[in-house]
Chains A and B, each alone.
Chain A
């Protein structure tokens, strides 16, 4: 329990760093991003909206400390300003619309990729020295491919050439968003290619790290003892080798979530998937700072929560972290 609490403290600290970075970046950047941003709107904003943006991106007339306090006030009240790219929608609403697409797609795919990769890694480690070792260069290649490029290729083959799957989007335009069978079926259908991209390109990395951990674990004394005891191969492989080998792999998983999610959001852009990645892309194109910084914060929070969940699972798997 104490482990989890300590981790929680660490993630809160990280969240604080992220929020403060978000505060600092526009203020240390050359030029005056706030002014630049406000000018972009060409006077379409009311005084209240302008003030809100100034609080977020720099008030030349206030001390840094006052600015910081005001900034926190905005963050805590959920006021992220008005989006320029999606004018006149405010940032909160834009995020609300795109968040669930990303959450659904990336959560499912990241976990799926990890599970498949780890499963194959267990097998490859167990049968080390057999033909399975030749998977290594193949999977290395797969995991070295940029996500978005793989996405392009997969679109070319399956949407454009074979015409099996839709080219882009998150659902068919003739369904309405809601809990209808039609919509869900369409959303799943549209998700196939983005999902395949993320899963296939992420499997390789997990496979290789799990294989190497497995090989290392297999030469531990307790595995040798388990074999000596005459246990079934399955039991030695799972209960003794794989369960121990998985522990470092799992903390690696937590650590690399930020990286994986980063890669996945670029994939969204290729598919024009209505999630955070595409939104971030549009925001960056339009120099829509309010939207960008809010997305950064949101993704950070998602990564932190995912990390915390991974830690809880870890504590569940490793009794040594449970005491005290």
Chain B
């Protein structure tokens, strides 16, 4: 699976229960449960069928071609045989073939798939080639021929034939899975310590494949029951042995259709369809277990999407299509009061977990606001919330995001309806994503991806004008114009990130939110991109909200810095002040061994302990478990932001009470 953006990792991780509980939850999904129950019923029927069947399925009677009645619940055949009994007996043969084939097929798939994936090299190539060949060969005709050479073969023959033609699919999937698992740390580690191959496979690889193997197994049961039914229906199995397919064979052979005896073929077919449906439903459950995105789809209802923001009635300020030109951006100064974005008391929840809690800040025209934090601190969630790109189950129950229009009127971003939001986003505020690799559509030319923002927002713009603008934008970020026709995979990493920035600049927005725009790049390219951003900011006069875990970078380029911890801003200060006089113990820890500005990069990892679990924040100050300065009150009181000179920090050391107490004791 593709790497998920950090914000997703943040959305899923905090609310993910352990794997074991997840199985239970998958079972609780009504469809999966229905599937499991139906399957179990069929298995039980297959076992006890012959005992509960009211008649001998082959016994002829006088009641020929009788419709369902009290004596014969499902009617009788032309020879007066009881169809219910046939179906019950048939369940045994059909389920036996289904399960038997699935067992053998799965064993074959697992052997081939895991061996190929684990060994790699030539054996892998040969085995996968073999699997692919068998996958493409039309299975049923091959099965039919094999079955025809062993005329009137019983269940065992059919099982062998089905397994022989059916192992390839599972083998292919398992091979791919094993390949990716093999590269994981824990397997590498086991290999490095010289463990036996078989042991690694059994202990480390197989358990991780169980879900996939289960899915392949159930899929094969369905396919095998269907194939057996087809073969039996065509008369290629032993037609005296009762199975669902054989019932249909006799129904067809004795022209049940022409005599209108629907009861003859309806039950057997329904049984096949039902067990097939049931197994597929179970497989959906497994799919959702394997692929968490599918699981989230259930919550992502349109209604939930609309309800993302608790609505408030506010004066609707209609965003006009033609923007008023802004006054040319003056260089930012620390005492500027020209606020463009004012965030007040913003809160973001993922279900019951609060990922961003009571965050407030202002962004002034031309300012670079740097937001720093470890992963899981809520910084990316904050970025998405500001742009209202958060997806359910994320929800903003509280807060205000006020944007100042060119005419100095303000509008609450959270109160906008879809249409207003669509007009606002990108026109006034755009976002540059973390990974250009994932944020650019892989099958669309880069130029077109810039252009479609213009198409959407500037309906009056003619095509040549748009083309010219695309070239201009590429020029601005330093991409040669002829690259407009390239696809993302044809560009280098740095080039892709520049293209992302060009997309962000397309409509000349007032604010650009940048979520770790350079993390994926090497240092030299990173430097070039940062310089480019700073140059463009000065030239075009936009404001930047820059989010990263790279503190040295942030101190260098930001005007103001906000540090996030456990979903809250714990310190906010001018970059210079922050660097020289960090107030919060967390910031101090971060800057402790911090060298000069030009020195080597320092990432936020220098503090003992691990980032807090948002589901179980400690009482009082969430930094307390890692804080060297913690004292009694820290466990009881949640610190708010206290003003210390021009900076502010959320630490009880600066609370008046504490100052008073310290004064008393002094």
Chain A residues at the B interface, C-beta cutoff of 8 Å: 10-11, 13-14, 17-18, 21, 25-26, 29-30, 33, 127-130, 133, 136-137, 140-141, 143-146, 148-150, 152-153, 155-156, 160-161, 212, 215-216, 219-222, 224-232, 235, 239-240, 243-244, 247, 255, 257-259, 261-263, 265-266, 269-270, 280-281, 283-285, 287, 289, 292-293, 295-296, 299-300, 303-304, 307, 317-320, 323
Q: Are A17 and B262 in contact (CB under 8 A)?
A: no
- In angstroms, Cα B233 to Cα A250, docked, is 31
- Residues facing A in B269-286 (CB within 8 A) are 269, 272-277, 279-281, 284
Q: A137-B281, A141-B273, A229-B452 are in contact. Are A224 and B138 (CB under 8 A)?
A: no
Write the chain B residue with the least CB distance to A302.
B138
Contacts of A152 in B (CB 8 A): 248, 251-252, 257, 265, 269
Contact of A292 among B148, B258, B438 (CB under 8 A): B148
Contact of B489 among A128, A304, A319 (CB under 8 A): A319
Q: Which of B66-74, B361-369, B419-427, B642-650 contacts A (4 or more CB under 8 A)?
A: B419-427
Q: Are B284 and A136 in contact (CB under 8 A)?
A: yes
Contacts of B132 in A (CB 8 A): 10, 14
Contacts of B189 in A (CB 8 A): none
Contacts of A21 in B (CB 8 A): 137, 142
Q: Are A160 and B258 in contact (CB under 8 A)?
A: yes
Q: A215-B294, A221-B5, A266-B234 are in contact. Are A146 and B226 (CB under 8 A)?
A: yes
Contacts of A295 in B (CB 8 A): 141
Contacts of B262 in A (CB 8 A): 156
8 interchain residue pairs of minimum CB distance: A262-B140, A144-B276, A149-B269, A129-B301, A258-B138, A221-B438, A221-B439, A145-B273
Tell me, rounded to whole Å, the shortest Cβ–Cβ distance linking B136 to chain A.
5
- In angstroms, Cα B138 to Cα A10, docked, is 15
Q: Are A230 and B426 in contact (CB under 8 A)?
A: yes
Q: Are A307 and B136 in contact (CB under 8 A)?
A: yes
Q: Are A224 and B389 in contact (CB under 8 A)?
A: yes
Q: Are A144 and B301 in contact (CB under 8 A)?
A: no
Q: A11-B136, A13-B129, A129-B304 are in contact. Are A146 and B273 (CB under 8 A)?
A: yes
Q: Are A292 and B144 in contact (CB under 8 A)?
A: yes
Q: A129-B304, A231-B456 are in contact. Are A296 and B234 (CB under 8 A)?
A: no
Q: Which label, helix, strand, loop or mixed, suits the secondary structure of the B interface?
A: helix
- In angstroms, Cα B284 to Cα A224, docked, is 25
Contacts of B631 in A (CB 8 A): none
Contact of B145 among A25, A128, A150 (CB under 8 A): A25
Contact with A along B631-666 (1 / 0, CB 8 A): 000000000000000000000000000000000000
- Residues facing A in B406-432 (CB within 8 A) are 422-423, 425-427, 430-431
Contacts of B252 in A (CB 8 A): 152, 270
Interface size on B (CB < 8 Å)? 97
Q: Are A262 and B138 in contact (CB under 8 A)?
A: yes
Write the chain B residue with the least CB distance to A295.
B141
Q: Are A229 and B503 in contact (CB under 8 A)?
A: yes
- In angstroms, Cα B34 to Cα A137, docked, is 11
Q: Are B136 and A14 in contact (CB under 8 A)?
A: yes
Q: Are B149 and A25 in contact (CB under 8 A)?
A: yes
- Residues facing A in B568-617 (CB within 8 A) are none
B300 beta carbon closer than 8 Å to chain A: yes
Contacts of B430 in A (CB 8 A): 228
Instruction: Beyond the given A222-B440, A317-B443, please list 9 additional residue pairs across the A-B interface where CB-CB is below 8 A.
Output: A140-B280, A146-B272, A149-B248, A219-B8, A224-B391, A231-B453, A235-B456, A258-B137, A262-B139
Q: Are A265 and B145 in contact (CB under 8 A)?
A: no
B296 beta carbon closer than 8 Å to chain A: yes
Q: Are A259 and B273 in contact (CB under 8 A)?
A: no
Write the chain B residue with the least CB distance to A137.
B31
Tell me, rounded to whole Å, the shortest Cβ–Cβ distance linking A203 to chain B.
14
Q: List 16 A-B contacts (CB under 8 A).
A: A10-B129, A13-B129, A145-B276, A146-B272, A146-B273, A149-B229, A149-B265, A219-B391, A224-B391, A224-B439, A228-B389, A228-B426, A230-B456, A258-B138, A258-B139, A280-B141
Tell me, rounded to whole Å, the shortest Cβ–Cβ distance linking A249 to chain B.
14
B25 beta carbon closer than 8 Å to chain A: no
Tell me, rounded to whole Å, the shortest Cβ–Cβ distance linking A19 to chain B.
11
Contacts of A247 in B (CB 8 A): 443
Contacts of B277 in A (CB 8 A): 137, 140-141, 144
Contacts of A231 in B (CB 8 A): 452-453, 455-456
